[in-house]
Amino acid sequence: MTSADGGPFAVTGNQIVKTAGALDFETKATYNLDVTCTDDILQTTDTYVVKV
């Protein structure tokens, strides 16, 4: 992931997983996760929004 907003999330294999702690709607209602994939030629970035 290339986004600092990812906070309690990480990429493991081909999945986005929650890494630690509970998600608190009152503290943060959404997380924007920017995921960048690259190979020898191309690069692409997609943004995923997790709503709590």
Three-class SS state of 38: strand
Instruction: Report pLDDT digits (tens) over 17-32.
Output: 888 788 888 988 988 8
pTM of the shown model:
0.70
Q: Give Cβ neighbours of residue 23 (< 8 Å, ≥ 6 apart).
A: 8, 52
Q: Which two tokens mark 34?
A: 């920017």
Instruction: Report pLDDT digits (tens) over 39-52.
Output: 999 999 999 888 98
